Amino acid sequence: MSTISQRFEQIRARVHRTAAACGRKPEDIEIIAVSKTCPASSIEQAVAAGARHLGESYIQEAVDKIQQLSGLAAVWHFIGPIQSNKTRQIAEHFAWVHSVDREKIARRLNDQRPEQLPPLNVILQLNISQDPNKQGIVPAELEQLAAQVAEMPRLTLRGIMAVPAIDLEESELRRQFRAMNTLLTGLTSKYPECNQLSLGMSGDMDIAIECGSTMVRVGSAIFGSRPGR
């Protein structure tokens, strides 16, 4: 049975192979180890293996682990749905948030970000598949929300994210991922720091990297199977 360290190394090798095959630099792609529902001991193993970026979706569980592991050299990303009553905890404990999809949430994160911390890195979530079961704005709403976030002093607009509909044909998945890359290129021309494309999980990360992803979100392929929520 493989260990967390071995599985993380396998994912890192996979990222390197895929990047090399499509002419990209592996160091331009961050692996976000999605540690939701994992105990602190598993996170410590992943960080020891080289994981630096950790993704969490359940706010109270995440805050407990962040506080417990405060001495760990890790960058914490909130990647789950955001409720208004959870914004303060996100603003106070995370370096990145990937799931901002409305001005109200962005405004609350901005107002609640502690002054002693650097601005919160914000990635906007798109519903690129226009799937009624998915969260996120549609592409037509991106320019307005990006402009609003860019004006907020305690936030830094850093990129865009999507979770495509499940069971897409590969050709359609590529089309949607490429559309995301095109949208990001347009934003980067206006906001140079907005240069991150958070796309791809265990099953589709190779296609995501080929289409320009700079952040892949990998959970069970690193930490193994775990109870759902």
pLDDT at 229 (0 to 100): 46
pLDDT of residue 1: 63
Calpha distance 87→91 (Å, rounded): 6
pLDDT for the residue 107: 98
pLDDT of the residue at 165? 87
Show pLDDT as tens, one digit a residue, over the chain (229 residues).
Answer: 689 999 999 999 999 999 999 999 999 999 999 999 999 999 999 999 999 999 999 999 999 999 999 999 999 999 999 999 999 999 999 999 999 999 999 999 999 999 999 999 999 999 999 888 889 999 999 999 999 999 999 999 999 999 998 889 999 999 999 999 999 999 999 999 999 999 999 999 999 999 999 999 999 999 988 654 4
For position 132, what pLDDT does the model report? 85
